[in-house]
Each structure stands twice: as C-alpha cells, then as structure tokens.
Structure 1
Amino acid sequence: MLRRGAGRWGVWVLNCWQFVMAVAADLTGAGKCAALQHYYLVTSSSSNDQDRHMKTNPDESALLTRGGRPTLRDLLDHLEFSPTRGSITLNGARMLMSRATFGSDLRDQLVRRYSEHEAMVLMLRLGYLSGREDAEFILQSWPELDPGDAFTAGTRLHMVTGTVRVETISNDFDFDTDRFSGDFLWHDSVEASEYHRRHGRALQPVCWMQTGYAAGYASPFFRKLVLFKETSCSAMSHKACRVVGKTVDQWGRDDPFVQLFLNEVLPTGGDHVANARINRRSGKGADAPDLDDLIIAPVRARLDLVLQGRVPALITGPAGAGRRAAARWLHKCRFRHGNFTITHAGSPEVGERLAALRKSGGQPYASDAFLAISGIENLSTDRQWALLDLITGQGGQQPMIVAISDMAADRLVAEAGLLPELAYALQVMPITLPPLKDRSADLGPLSRAILASAPSLRDAPKAQLTDAACDRIARLDLPGNLPHLRGLLQRAALLAADPKCIDAADIDAALALDPPRSAPSQHSDIWDALAPGFENGSLTLDGLNATLMQKAMAQTENNVAAAARLLGLTRPQLAYRLGQSERE
C-alpha cells in the first residue's frame, strides 16, 4: 500500500501489487509478463530515466476522466516515482509504499495494548487528521479548483489510493448555508477486507480510519463539523459498506457517536485553526482572520501548554488586554462546543457552580466542566478553599479552571489575600497579556480583524483600513487597550468620507473626539517624599494635618474662610479642627 509521508500520520492506501511487479520488471529488463497484464510503467517525458509514473488498464481510460477535477486521470498523471532514489510523490507530496496489512497490524496492536474503544478513538482520529491534510493538499495543488470539485475529490482520492471504491448514492451540499447530507457505498474496503480475513465476521462496523477520514476531509468546507456513520459493513458480511454523512446539528448533539467524536476523537488544540487555514485557501473567510487568535498571539505558546497539561490557568494583565479572549480560546479548544461564560468572584453563581462541579466529580470533557472566574482576588475565603479542593481533588481528570485578574500574580497573595495554596495551584503556567502599548507591530492586523468581525456601521460594505491608517494606529498610545481601539475604529468608520475606506486622516479625526485624559496623579510622588518620615517615626498623621493647617493659615494671613477654601474644607470644619488642635 502507499502511505503519504508528509503531514500528520496521513495514510493513503494503494493496491500496489501490480505496481511493485511492474517496477521490478522494468528494472530487471524482464519486460512485460503475464502477471502484469494491463498494468505497466512507462518513462516520463523527463530526460532523467529514473522519473517514473504509473498508467493503468486502457479499458478503464474512459472512466478515469469522469467526475470533477482532479479526475482519477489527473491524480494518476501527478503520481511520480523514482525507485532508485527511493522517492514516490503525488504532485510533490512524498509518499510511502507498504503493505495493506499495515493498518490491520496497527489496529490489532492498539486493541491489545489499550482496548477496543481506545483503538477505535485513535483510528478515527488518525483518519480525521489524514482527511483534513488531504483536503488541504487538494486545495494547495489545484488552487483554482471549483469548491464543489475540491469537496468531491475526497471520494476520488479514496479510490485512486486503493482504499476503497466509492459509489455515490446521494451527495447534497450547499457551502453558503452549510447544508450537507451524503449517502455512499464503499466497495472492497481495505479495512473491512483485512479485518474479515484476520478475524472473520465482525459484529459491528470496522472501517474506523476511513470513517474518520471522511469527516476530516469534508468538515473544512463547512462552518460546521461533518460526521459520517458506517451503517453497514462488508466485514459483517454485508454486500458493501454504507456510510451516511451529516452535520453535527443534523445528527443531534445528544447522539452518542456525535458525543464520542466531539469529546474524544477531535484532537485537542489547533484543529479549528487548521480548518480556518484551509477555508482561507478555498476562498472562505479570506478577509476575516480569527480575532481571538491575534489577541492571544503573545501568550499562545503558554496557552497550548495549559491545554496539553490540562492544568488550571491564571490569566492576568491590564483591563482590555484580552484576558477574556484568552479564556474563550481555551474553552473553544478544549470543548469546541457549549456555552462560554465568565462569572465574577463576587457573584452567588460562583458558589452554585463550585457545588455543581464538586457534586459531579468534575466529569472530564463535558461542555459544562469549565469554570472561569474574573476578579479572583475578590473570592471569599470559604470559596477559595472549595476551589482549591476542586483543583487538587483525587479521582480522575478535573474540570478546566480559569482565573482572571488585573493584579500581578505576586500581588494576589501579598495584597489581595488570596490563599497561598490556591495561588500556587493556579500558577502552574501563569499567563500575562501585555498592554497594547507593547504590541505596536500587532495593532494593524488587530485593527483589520476587529473591523472584519464587527457588523457594518453604515449602509455600505465593511470599511477597510489603508496601510497609512495602520501605520498611524501603530504609533498610538491606547491606555484603554482593545476596547479603546475598537471604539476608535468604529468612530473612524462613521466619520470616514468614504464609508468603504478608513485612512490616516479619519483616524486623526476620531482621535480628536477622544475624551481628554486627566492629569497624572502626583499622590505617589507625595507619598514617596513622606514615607521615610512615617517609617522612622519623625512624622505622624496628626502632626502632618496640624502643619498643613498652620501653613494654610499663614498663607492667608489667618483668614479662616480663605484657608478652608485652600484646603478644600468648609469654614466650620476648619475652625473645629483648629480648635481641636489647640486643645491638644
């Protein structure tokens, strides 16, 4: 069989016995023999006689050009090999040839080492990854391809690689409305035939990798996950394998197979990013990069580690720097579905959620096994202990806990009174989002993503930023961070002379309407000057107050009313305090 060497565990299976025989015959000069029949190899047009490609039975030529592009003929024409260099490629993608029993060996070893359930999950996941990589391969290799042809090319890849012969019963899809339903027959499935040869009649469908492959290939073309179920299988002595494909919404979220795929099969982290990458290459969402991905870019590596280690996360940083986006990204990657909410530490709901999670034992992978708490420094002591018990509890995997604060991690214990035990439990991989003033290079892409994700504010297409506008934004001081930037862009879009275009002048016009900033406080400077006196005992608060009143009276020539105005007091207030000072 032939396996693709590029990508992640991508497996392409090819019925290659005749192919191997032909290579041997060509290299030894034996020529055609009866065993080869209609399969043979020819030298390509290249001057290098080591470059080879495969041709097929002339009787099948008419069938090879049917269907959308790339046709079976297109795929075969791009299959090249050089046996003396040890290289086989399909349109430049490295391939590996091995026996069709490889998949069965892998399956049997996984079942023995783990369990049949775990083996099924892993094979479905490998198939899913392979299908997703093949979708990207098709879009890269044929960039001008009609989206419908690119979508149906998955069935032709299944056939040309020898995995299975696909017969389409129905294939109804609409990319704009995310509608899909398909019904297919798989004839001579390599997974089913190998299983039946080794183990006899199966009691349930066994084409796990092919089913995962179909989901992985189809899903990137839609904004919804597409899943396939094998409803009959030739390994069960049925005439052919039959698979039905629908979106998860059509199957229903409570469907057991949907739950299995969502909670166990889908790889953790990055998968939605890869799908977005494929969608961009196929022309979907080309102008709408994921805003959350851009916001969390400075801390992405640490967020990935949190996902991999399944540890709690403490997300800190100034207000508006993207702490909520980071928590939302963690939820999206871990669970993919379910409602995302953040609860303030002072809300009664925190206690209810803690009690519910403790009662359920923090069931892993469930969409509600997630708790994000903002203002963690305001959490009451009893709830801090409850949260610590939930994080450190024994007995299986714990729910995902995300704590959010605008205080630096070292201040949470010293100044906010957070339990040291809880602080350490939350800081396994601390995450601090920087303010926008430290991300000048990111302000242009962030601004474009904000505009792309927001609804149009005028009766016109969404406004686009010019390069000059991006350069102007990159030089701005935005103390309000992302909310400040979002408001500025919306104002500029409303003020722009051209509703479809925001230029540097429009940014300046929007800036002119910013509320004036208050003067920086000098209190910290005053404290810095007074602190040494308080520390060595030479200065007291009463003594400081008496000195201030005396100086104010001296400056106003003992005019109590004027001195009171100078100190921000009423005349009776100052008179009372002066009398109290004299009595002391």
Structure 2
Amino acid sequence: MREDLEVARGDVHDQIPQAPAFDDLRKSLHFMPDEASIWLDGRRMILTEHDAQGIMRRELIVAVGLERARAIMTRLGYELGAVEAELAIRLRKDTSVFNAFSAGPQLHALKGVVKVEPIIFDVEPEKGRFYTEYYWRHSAECESHLAHMGVGHQPGGWQQVGYASGYASAFFGRPFVFREIECVAMGHSKCFLIGKPAEEWHEPERELRYFRAENYSTRPNTSEKAQIVPDGDLRIGARSIVGASAAFNIVFNLIDKVAPTNAPVLFLGESGVGKEVFARELHKRSTRADKHMIAINCAAIPENLVEAELFGVEKGAFTGAVATRPGRFERANGGTLFLDEIGTLTLSAQGKLLRVLQEGEFERVGGRAPLTANVRIIAATNANLRDEIKAGRFRADLFHRLNVFPVRIAPLRERRADIPLLINHFQRRFAQQHGKTLKAFSQDVLRAFMSYDWPGNVRELENIVERGVILADEGLPIDVHHLMTEADRDEDGEGGDPFRAYLLDRPDPSASNSALGGKMLESGLGADGAISAMIREALLRTSGNVSETARLTGMTRSQINYWIRRNRKVDVEF
C-alpha cells in the first residue's frame, strides 16, 4: 500500500534519537480518588473500560453510518491533539524538536492509548522538511475496533489519526495529515502510519474530509471533497475559510441547516471573530448564491443617512440628490442583505427597518411609490441585544424578527485547534501579497500563539501574522521580535499593542533567580508550596482574574482553575 504515497524521502533513515524520559509528563498527572477525579495538566481525565470504546463505536456506526462515525471520532481526536500540543511546546521549550514533539506519543502511552515507535523523524522546520513514520503497537482503539467490528479493509485508528494530525498541526503551525497505512483492524500484526504536511500528500482529501463537519441530511446524494487549494489551505468544497475545531464545525453544521431556507440569521460573537466571513459562507451555500450579497456596516452610517442608504433616494429629494439612487434593499433584490453591527442602529432607524421586515415594502427617500424587494436578511452584532433591550437602546420587536436563527461564533481562545490552520492561511496569503519567501514560525512564536487569549480574535491574529511576514529576515524563521513594534507606544511606554505587551511580560520559566531561589530554600516551602504561594499572590494581584494569573505565572488557565478547585477550602480574599 505504500507505492501510492509518492514520497521522495532522500536519506531519512538516520538513527532515531532516544525519546526523553516521561518524568515531566508524569508530574502533570494527578490521581485524586477521594474526590473521584484524575487530572492531567489541569484537565480532568477518566479511566474507562477498554471494551467501552468498541461498544460506543459499534453503536455510533449503527446510529449514523460508518463514514459519519469515523468523521466524528477523527474530529474528536484532532481537537484533543491540538490542545496537547500546547502542553508539549510549553513543557519542552528548551529541548530538541524531536524531544518536544515526542511528548504527544508519550502522553498517549501514559494514558494507555498506544505505544508509539518512531521509525523515521526527518523534521527540520527551518528548511521546510517534515516527514515521519511510526509503528503503533498495542493500540487500544484499533484492537477494540477489531474485537467489535472484525477484520475489514479500512484502518481502525480513527481518533488516533485525528489526534496525530491535530497535534502536529498545532505543534508545527501548518496543516498536517497522518495516514494509517497498515492496521491490526485490517489483519496486520501492527499499525503503521506516515505523517507530513497536508499539501505533500497524494489525494489528501482521503483524510481531510473527516476534519470538517458536514450535514449529509440536507444533501444526501452529494459529498463535498476536502482539498488543498492553490494557496495551500485546508478547505472543503466551496468553503472560503479554514478551521477544524469543534466550535468551528458546530457553526458550519448550523449554517448547513439554515442555508437552504429563507429564514433570517443573526450571527453573534466578539469583534474580530469573522461574522461577515461566516455570513458570506452562508450566502454561498444558500439557494441565492447566484445573486448579490450586499453588506452594510450600520455603525458607519450617520443617523440622517440611514434611510437613504437602506432604501434609496429619488432625484430631487434633497440638495445634492441629482439622480435617483437605489438603496441596499433594491441592490440586494433576489439575494442577501447583510446588516453588520446591527446593535448600533438608532431607535429611529430600527423602527424604519422593522417596518420593512414586517410589511415587505419600503419607499425611497423623496419617493411616493411603494417598492418591494425579495431579500434575505443576515445580521451580526458583538453586543448583547437582550441587555440593549433592557437598557432601552434596542427594540424588542426588531430583535425577535432578527433572532429567528441565532448562531454564536466562539472567540478564538475557545477554538485553539483553528490557530495553526489560520496562521498557515494568513502566512501564505501575505507572503504572496508582499513578495516574501514562505518560512516557518519559531517554536517560541507558536507557543505564544497557542497560549495568548486573542482579545481581537481572528482579526488580531491576521494582523500579527502579516507583521511577521513583512519583518522576518530572509532565510530565517519568523521569531518573536518580528511580531513587536514600538510605533504605537506612548512616551511612558504604556498602551499600544496587547500582543506585544503579552510577549514582553511573559515570565521565562527557564530563567534563574538565585536570590529568589535562596529565599525559597530558606522558607522550607518545597516545590508544591512555592507554586501555591506564587499562584495565590498572582490571584491577589489580579483580583482573581484567571487569565491574568495564568499570564503572570507562565501557567495555563486550566492549571490555575485546577489549583483553585484543589484549594477551594482555603480562603483567598481578592
């Protein structure tokens, strides 16, 4: 089965270095039987019966079919892998690429999932070389598949392949695909898999299609194919945006449900999450895709011009109206009208919009003849409209007209599995746009990308990647100093770019401080006591803000929350 891989390996059979010890990973695992909980790096774990996975898989296949069951398991693994890449990059920041990357396979072994044996690890990110081969031995997933489904012609390591792909994608900051070539569920003595960048695979859609949720119920006889488009992005069918996290796929499942209808849709989410991009995707997947989608930013229209912009102007209606001009409703006739930042409309403008939605008619400014337009409404806001209604700033009747099908787009900090795909997408686009050579991000940058909370969401990430592409030196990877500028700092050094501040304020866990070390030794606190004292002080300084505490201590939000749960009986006044 290997002849179809079209791999030009070169001399990649060098001896694999010995994997590092498990000590750092073991220290992240905590058993707390008194509280019925197990924790790994601040994330709750469970022990489960080996047969349970096989039973669940069998029931899932019966319920939704083999292909959809495989897709669900693969996406689950992808999300878990992307999360654990952050742990690997953080714990082993000062080791070799092989040692740091080995944390993923070792975590699998620690959890009893599979013993991963590296065969080839030909990876040099700075030179763009990524090629790996592994054996899987004692794979719990593949063996349970074999036990409950029998020998078949397809591999059974669905979740493990998803995990490996998500882990490598997050670790290296570009879309990776692992393919299981041999499997015990196919009758082989052990499992064999290969991993490399998605665009280097022959027929990458064989795996990529499982990374995206698809609503087969609306198109039972069609199947969109995953693809690597010319700019190197991981996409599916007509989709114009990238992502593979659970939160991302939930949004697309909702879009698939509502796209064929004419129902109004309200996109909710923080500034910068990409509400307009998702709205355009909805339009492209609707029955109106061959018509125009007209967008209007409600926040950018002066109050006295809202009516003219939406409904148009008759010649001579006011000074300067030298010709009849159609409004957005007329221009969107037969298609879609996207009302961005709908929460900023004045009450007067809201009333005029509501009348059109209720009556289906409008008049141009200065006109007398009623006009109609067959328009689908998509709106978006980063405001809490229910709070705006309570404050008297938004009409409840208009809200109920728009809120027929609300779709919340999660902030980037809640879908970190999308970050490697997004930075790869932006890097390729800006390298082409600015005539730059495509280059890798340093591991320090990737660690910062995966741990930063992204208050500006995708828009902020896009801007920072563009900055790095512009400033990076030829022949060298994009490093931390390429992402920082001084231009928007005031004379006191305050304000400016929050990502720059985050990079500058990050504690260096490898830095030594002999004076502090001496005080810790004299105090007799020990390691656990010192960590607790540090977290307690950080919580006091940040008034209990978990994200800020994580930033100050160099830990993750999950670790801080885990400490708080363990010490909830200890009074900490903020």
TM-score, with structure 1 as normaliser: 0.44
Q: Which has the higher contact order (CA 8 A, sep 6+)?
A: 2
TM-score normalised to the size of structure 2?
0.44
